[in-house]
Structure 1
Amino acid sequence: MPVTDITTDPEALTMTVTAEFAAPVERVWNAFTTPRQLERFWGPPGWPSTFREFDFTVGGRAQYFMTSPRGEKSSGSWEFLSIDEPRGFEVLDSFVDDEGKPLDGFPAMRMSFTFEETSTGSRMVNTSYFDSADALEQVVAMGAVEGTRMAMDQLDAVLQDLREYAEGKGTRVELIDDTHVRITRLVNGPRELVWRAHHDPDLVRQWMLGPDGWEMTECVMSTTVGESYRTSWAPVGDTEGEPFGFEGEVLLVDEPRRAVTTERMQGQPIETINDLNLYEEDGATLVTVLIEYPDLETRDMILATGMADGMEASFARLEHEVLAGR
């Protein structure tokens, strides 16, 4: 958890975020000044950023938007006011529309980033300066404190070599809050093929089987927003268990980076939102699934079924039977 403190000061009209990283200043600097790396953490889980412009010069601008699992967009703009590599930079941060024009009724703020060496790595201090107490209160009311904490807490995965961070560690389950769970698994294979393995019915049938002793009896996939999918499984031979399946609708597709669907067990009313993200580095792909549950009880009930163990068995099969040799 990199964030060590978030302080709002109504008298000084500031919000200050302090975070510690087990990485040198130069590595942290690169993460904050390289668009493809920024996209991996600038935005809380479920709202990843896309930087469509990044002119990292004094007077230049960065334009980005964050996209929710249901496709809503929130756009922002940075105007670079000063750059002191690798010690810090300062921007004018604004809420903007799709054309990059400031939104009426939303505050702009001056925002500084400073980076300094520590005995264990480095420290970042991010201070936002507001024009009024009302502007500070408005941004806090929009969820800036918790959103910033969750966004910065994604940086550990960015700062490390991807294989060092995740290879050999299996399927990992992280409880983000009462209704959100993040599942990660590194698989050895290119992102395009991993994407196909998640959406091509012929490939899906080869690996998405869970523990041994089960077969997929139905596999209807889609990558078209608004369409439905349906998957079903049944035990084979002496394997104990009852047939079951899932179904849902496609909410968002950004091939081969992201796909969001609803999911419910066939015949059951409980629905989750499953947000699949794929990131490739050095020939390996980090699969991240952010699951949103309706409540804490549902979250704990589903996790208790051994879902993560079944996913690990499937991911291992994906590597050994689908990706190997391709």
Structure 2
Amino acid sequence: MKSDLLMNFTVDKETSTVNVKREFNASLSNVWSAWTEAEILDQWWAPAPWKAKTKRMDFKEGGQRLYAMLGPRGEEHWALADFKSITPKTNFKYLDAFCDNEGNLNKDFPRSDWDVSFSEHGDMTIVDIAIKHENLSDLEKIIEMGFKEGFTIAMQGLDEIFASRA
């Protein structure tokens, strides 16, 4: 399903940052819930045919989400989000990392610093995401792993959730 909703994906090599601006055909409160509640995140966070599974989530400053991306052949890739700041229905920031199923960080992979902002425009909600990496090689590693393609597919999965509820 090709989306006609805005999706800008840019890479700023100077600041080692990926910027994503994505429009959703849903209210601000529905989009906020989809990004901050484990039971909804698990329905779209992984790019199909992968699935996301949250082991634990405490959405508060200082809280964490420990989750896995589960592949169609039984692959498991675990990740940990450390929530740094939350401004309800406006913005949240977290550090993302690969880890094991207990949340022990995988030091072979870089952490990324996510800054996710939400704004309502009529019937639409725009999510602005800045994903900062420590250096350019960390950023390039994530891009080579197919981040843009995977994230694009995941966003379309979220569109389908909103469409099914409309």
Q: Which residue of 2 aligns with 1:154?
A: 157
Runs of 5+ consecutive residues of structure 2 not aligned to the other structure: none
Which structure 1 residue ranges, 5 or more long, are not aligned? 165-326
Which residue identity does 2:152 align to in structure 1? R
Match of 2:102 in 1: 99
Q: TM-score, normalised by structure 2?
A: 0.93
Partner of residue 26, structure 1: 29
What CA distance in whole angstroms lies between the structure 2 residues aligned with 1:160 and 1:28? 12
Name which of 36, 48, 52 aligns with 1:49.
52
**Letter paired with 1:26:** S
The one-letter code matched in structure 1 to 2:121 is T
The 5-angstrom pairing of residues 36-75 of structure 1 reads: 36-75=39-78
> Deviation string for 1:163-213 (max 9, x for gaps)?
x5xxxxxxxxxxxxxxxxxxxxxxxxxxxxxxxxxxxxxxxxxxxxxxxxx
Task: Give 1:80-229 correspondences, 5 Å limit.
Answer: 80-162=83-165, 164=166
Across the aligned residues of Structure 1 and Structure 2, the Cα RMSD in angstroms comes to 1.2
Specify the SS of the correspondent of 2:131.
strand
Query: Which residue identity is paired with 1:49?
Result: A
Measure how far apart 1:120 and its partner are.
Answer: 3.8
The structure number with the bigger radius of gyration is: 1
Distance 2:115 2:21 in 1: 12
Larger relative CO (CA 8 A, sep 6+): 1 or 2? 2
Number of residue-to-residue matches in the alignment? 163
SS of equivalent residue, structure 1 residue 151: helix
CA contact (8 A) 1:6 1:145 kept: yes
- 1:148 shift after superposition: 0.6
Looking at structure 1, the residues matched to 104 and 46 of structure 2 have their Cα atoms a distance apart, in angstroms, of: 20
- TM-score using structure 1 length: 0.49
Q: CA deviation at 1:48?
A: 1.0
* Whole-angstrom distance in 1 between the partners of 2:34 and 2:163: 11
Q: Residues of 1 paired with 2:6 and 2:69: CA distance?
A: 21
Quote the Cα distance in structure 2 between the aligned partners of 1:109 and 1:69: 26
CA distance in 2, matches of 1:21, 1:43: 17
What displacement does 1:110 show? 0.7
Q: Deviations over 1:7-27 (max 9, x none)?
A: 111111100111111111111
